[in-house]
Every structure is written in structure tokens, then in C-alpha cells.
Amino acid sequence: MEIKQQIIEKAEELFMRYGIKSITMDDLSRELGISKKTLYQYIDNKNDLINELFKCRLDEEKVMMEGFQKAATDAIDEILQLARYIIRKLRQLSPTVVYDLQKYYRTTWKEMEALHQKHVYQMIKDNLERGMEQGIYRSEINPDIVAKLYVGKTSLVADEDLFPLRDYDISELFREYMLYHIHGIANEKGKKLLSQHLAKSSEEIE
């Protein structure tokens, strides 16, 4: 495995276990069994490390999204596969990591959010257009507006003031939000299809 990839994976492991703030570059080099000099040949600083980690996860997400689009039988099946994937990822996400990013690396957090939102916008817009073509989403939807509304509302799920992590499970929040989204865009045919998909697997959103 490439050294840089090893660095990123070890950093993610440590961040998820102990939080971002508490892990230093010294800790990382020690865990990897390499010198700080070697570490800095691949990573400029901690902010750079966080950015690299995020880019890797975004690339991974893009590949998964493309897979869902190809494998899904319809637009609702696609959005449910997406929801299950994101919920699994959110369940793995340490609340400490989110807190540290928002408090100590706010600029990085905002940059990551902007990149992610751009990707999510296009993905949701494509899904809306697919669903309208298939006759399972409402025909009067404006895909551009609804996709932007989706992106804007999604950021509320991660709003610590609105939904404190100590009081709300982020995967449950996203599940409720995704069902809210689908019921808002699906026509009667789409809602029946949603019920059929939900009845198929225990892995589906309930």
C-alpha cells in the first residue's frame, strides 16, 4: 500500500477513536512507525491531513453513488441505497470528530462542507430528473430548486445548536430527513413503490 494512503487510513483510525484535537503529528508518526521527517514528506500539516482524508472519503462516496445509479431499479431504489450507505457511515462517525472539526478546524470544515454540498446537489438533481422521467416523482418539481433545498436542509442535520449530538442520534436524524424528502417529491405511484422497497429488506429505512 502506498505510504500516503497508509498515513491517511491510520489518521482516520486514530481520529475516530480519540477525536481530531487530541491526536498530534507526533502520535501519528509513532503509530505508523515512521519519523516525522518522513511523515512531512507526504503531509504538510494537520489541516492538510484532514483535507486529504476528506478528499479520499469524497472520492469513495462518488464511486458508491455511481454504483447505486447503475444498480438501482428506479430513482427511489437509488435514493434508498444512498440513504442506507450514508446512515452506515454516520453510525461509524464519532461525535467527537464532528465537534472537533466544527470547533477547532472551522475553516476546513466549511471547505469540506462546500465540496460535499456541490457533489450532493448534482447527485440529488440527477435523481430527481430520473424519478420524473420514470413517472414516480411529481411532474411539477423544479429539480434545481429542490436539490438546493435538500442540500440546505441537510446541513441542519449537522447543526449542533439545533440538534445537539448529546440528545440526537445523527443516523436517526438522517433517516427521518430522507423519508421526509421522499414523501415530499414522490407522487402516488412513487409512494406505493417506496412501500414496496421498504418491505423488501430489513436493511431498508423504516
Model pLDDT for residues 78-118, shown as the tens digit of each residue: 999 988 888 788 777 787 888 898 889 888 888 888 888 88
Any idea which architecture 53-200 has in CATH?
Answer: Orthogonal Bundle (1.10)
CB under 8 A, 24+ apart: contacts of 68-73? 69/126
Q: In this structure, what DSSP letter does residue 169 have? A: -
Q: Residue range 52-69: average pLDDT?
A: 88
CA distance linking residue 24 with residue 85, whole number of Å:
30
Query: Does residue 204 register a pLDDT over 50?
Result: no
Q: In this structure, what DSSP letter does residue 46 have? A: H
Query: Does residue 131 register a pLDDT over 90?
Result: yes
Using DSSP's 3-state secondary structure scheme, residue 137 falls into strand
Q: What integer best gives the mean pLDDT of the chain?
A: 89
Which of 47-51, 64-68, 86-90, 187-191 shows the highest mean pLDDT? 187-191
CA distance linking residue 13 with residue 9, whole number of Å:
6
97, 15 Cβ separation under 8 angstroms: yes
Using DSSP's 3-state secondary structure scheme, residue 105 falls into coil
Would you kindly state where each structural domain of the chain is located, as residue ranges? 1-43, 53-200
7, 42 Cβ separation under 8 angstroms: yes
- 153 or 187, greater pLDDT: 187
User: Which DSSP string do the residues of 65-103 spell out, in sequence order?
Assistant: HHHHHHH-SSHHHHHHHHHHHHHHHHHHS-HHHHHHHHH
- Please tell me the total number of residues recorded for the chain in this structure: 206
Range of lowest pLDDT (97-106, 157-166, 170-179): 157-166
Domain 1-43 has CATH 3.40.50.150: no
Model pLDDT for residues 8-55, shown as the tens digit of each residue: 999 999 999 999 999 999 999 999 999 999 999 999 999 999 989 988
Which is nearest to 158 in space by CA: 97, 204, 203? 97
Type of residue found at 125: K
Query: Does residue 60 register a pLDDT over 70?
Result: yes
Q: Residue range 156-168: average pLDDT?
A: 82
Q: Residue range 51-67: average pLDDT?
A: 88
Number of H helices, E strands in the chain: 10, 0
- 194 pLDDT band (50/70/90 cuts)? very high
- 153 or 11, greater pLDDT: 11
